[in-house]
Amino acid sequence: MTEQHSHRFERGTDGPKVIVVGVDGSDSSLRAAAYAGGLARRQRALLAVVYVQPVLAAGAALGVPVAETTDEIAEDLIAQIREATERVKGIFDVRWEFHTFPGDPYNGLVKAADDLKADAVVVGASEQAGHRIVGSVAVRLVKAGRWPVTVVP
């Protein structure tokens, strides 16, 4: 009688090759990006910086220029990341890409992690009091159980 083992798909590496980090401009997300950058450098992994652009139909109905605002946030985040990259050029080399995905933060990060074949996901701890009751994006990602998730305070 032979014993059967169920094997999960493994990419054949000793560490993560793609690390997804969610950024939204908050202090905790920028700390998460810095942490993920260090992890990517040490692991020689690709750092995929992801900004999830909210789809706010209600805001658009009220005449708020939502698309322009979220585009400005994305452009500002890219500028901040490029500036930080320039500061450490020659000291630390990190391969990185910037991606935007539409949707709410949880579903946007899930889609990003799936599409980019993430080996790990890094997010900042929620800074909103209501998330302690309802559950933050980080908690929902951990509960999904699909990738190792690091939550940076």
Structure confidence by residue, pLDDT tens digits, 45-99:
999 989 888 765 554 555 555 556 667 777 777 777 777 666 655 566 788 888 8
Q: H helices of the chain, where?
A: 27-43, 57-61, 66-88, 105-115, 131-134, 137-144
Determine the straight-line distance between the first and last CA of the chain, rounded to whole angstroms.
Answer: 50
Which of left, alpha, beta for 94 (phi over 0: left; psi -120 to 50: alpha)?
A: beta
For residue 108, what pLDDT is reported? 92
Closest CA to 25 of 58, 95, 72: 72
The answer to whether residues 137 and 105 touch, using CB atoms and an 8 Å cutoff, is yes
The residue ranking higher by pLDDT, 72 or 37, is 37
Closest CA to 50 of 117, 123, 133: 123
